[in-house]
Structure 1
Amino acid sequence: MFTGLTNYLDSIRARDPAPRSRWEVLTYPGVLALGLHRVAHWLFGAKLYFFARLINHIARFLTAIDIHPGATIGKNFFIDHGFTVIGETAEIGDNVTIYQCVTLGGTNPTNGVGGKRHPTLKDNVIIGSGAQIIGPITVGERARVGANAVVTDDVPEGATMIGLKARSTLVPAEEWLKDFIPYGTPCDEPCEELMETGPRRIAELEAQLAAMRSDLEVLKAEREVPAQRSGTGD
């Protein structure tokens, strides 16, 4: 048990540069929320629903993280900061990272029967802050969801989702193979324009604009010459 705990704390330190020790990680609200959820989930499985909900409410009061006791969570799950909501039928794989203000929300079943209504996150998924993952969809392994994205459809393995409503952008192999991408948003195309290539592209556009202006000046001069000659003949 102690080895499992130290491995879990080390997995968080590998993803977060802030803590200086394992003891500091133990103070994280996400760690406390997950620990209390393990207890609540066991009570939920034993059909002790009231006590499971009681633990859930205590955890939410202490951490501002609301994980339904019925949610299934794998190994090394890390919630960085708080204000996150995870629904009852959500399923979370191993080594998943979620940043603050994320919702793994459900949709209202049209037939009135509960069933599966929350997302499934596969292994090594990263969810950026403020993202909303809604409905019984699957977020594929190593997929990333950028900050404030809204996702309501299945996410392919290795894709990065951005925007409202989120659209899929394939991640290059060299990015996909990385063990961890902080905040779920690689700083590389095709997600967003690179800071490095932006100035170069602007310079190229300015050069093209200068060339067009030069061509316009030449054309203007060529038109003025016949007009002057015509005026002299009169």
Structure 2
Amino acid sequence: MSAASDDAPLSLWQQIKEDWIAHGRDWTKPGFRAVAVHRFGVWRMSIKPKLLRAPFSILYRAMFRHVRNVYGIELPYTVQLGRRVIIEHQSAIVIHGQTVIGDDSVIRQGVTMGNRYLDRPTEAPRLGKRVNVGAGAKILGAVTLGDDANVGANAVVLKDVPAGKTAVGIPAKIID
């Protein structure tokens, strides 16, 4: 079996295996479980007859609520989640349904990614590849974080962060 390229679509089990490896081959980690439930939620939407999809949707909703209520990780299936995304720790992670998270990114506990204004409910952050988001960070509004960007712990990001730069503070400022 040859290695799949980053552009080739993966099956549900291939994606889950890749995420399992990225999470240190530990299926008990809440972050891995949240990502696996997300992958299942996306997969079940590929079942076209709604009647056949219904039991999978019920199962997904139960698993989603379990992950949200027990682990404190809210990761809806509508999030565009890249490959090998790591959710490092559990608790108080809320990700807006329109958020885009690039490959190999790391999300830590207490992170919020959401809209900034009530009158613009669909605006959500876009994270590039290999973005590192520190504990307690808040990324709000239609901001873009470039590839290899870093967000410091407890930072409040309200403006775009260029590729390879680090944002820290309240409100976040670029430091390098």
* 2:101 is the alignment partner of 1:92: yes
Instruction: Please give the secondary structure, in 2, of the residue aligned with 1:161.
Output: strand
The alpha carbon displacement at 1:105 in A equals 1.4
Q: Against the structure 1 CA distance between its residues 119 and 28, is the aligned structure 2 distance closer, same or farther, given a 3 Å change threshold?
A: same
Whole-angstrom distance in 1 between the partners of 2:159 and 2:145: 9
Match of 1:34 in 2: 35
Question: Distance between the aligned counterparts of 1:106 and 1:32, measured in 2?
Answer: 25
Does 1:138 find its partner at 2:137? no
Residues 56-205 of structure 1: pairs in structure 2 closer than 5 A: 56-83=64-91, 84-108=93-117, 110=119, 114-115=121-122, 117-170=123-176
Query: Which SS does the other structure have where 2:167 is aligned?
Result: strand
Return the alpha-carbon distance in structure 1 between the equivalents of residues 144 and 171 of structure 2: 16
Q: Which deviations, in whole Å up to 9, do the C-alpha atoms of 1:115-144 show, x marking residues without a partner?
A: 4x1111110000000000011111110000
Deviation of residue 104 (structure 1)?
Answer: 0.7
2:113 match: secondary structure = strand
- Contact residue 95 and residue 113 of structure 2 kept, 8 A: yes
Larger gyration radius, structure 1 or structure 2: 1
Measure the CA separation in 1 of the matches of 2:132 and 2:33.
20
Corresponding position of 1:11? 22
Secondary structure of 1:40's aligned partner: helix
Residue 3 of structure 1 deviates from its aligned partner by 6.1
1:53–1:69 contact (8 Å) kept in structure 2: no
Letter in 2 for 1:92: I
Q: Deviations over 1:166-198 (max 9, x none)?
A: 10022xxxxxxxxxxxxxxxxxxxxxxxxxxxx
Cα RMSD (Å): 2.5
Aligned to 1:198: none
Q: Which has the higher helix share?
A: 1
Greater RCO (Cα-Cα under 8 Å, separation 6 or more): 2
Give distance in 2, aligned partners of 1:4 and 1:88: 20
Separation in structure 1 between the aligned mates of residue 96 and residue 153 of structure 2, nearest angstrom: 20
TM-score by structure 2 length? 0.78
In structure 1, stretches of 5+ residues that fail to align are 14-21, 171-234
The structural deviation recorded for 1:61 is: 2.2
> How far 1:56 moved relative to its partner?
2.2
Maintained 8 Å contact 1:40/1:55: no
TM-score, normalised to structure 1's length? 0.60
Paired residues in the alignment total 157
> Which whole-Å deviations, capped at 9, do the CAs of 1:191-215 have from their partners, x for residues lacking one?
xxxxxxxxxxxxxxxxxxxxxxxxx
Question: For residues 100 and 55 of structure 1, do their structure 2 counterparts lie closer, same or farther at Cα, with a shift above 3 Å needed?
Answer: same
- Please say if residues 79 and 99 of structure 1, whose CA atoms lie closer than 8 Å, have aligned partners that are also in contact: yes
Matched residue type, 2:84 = N
Over the matched positions of the two proteins, sequence identity in percent amounts to: 32
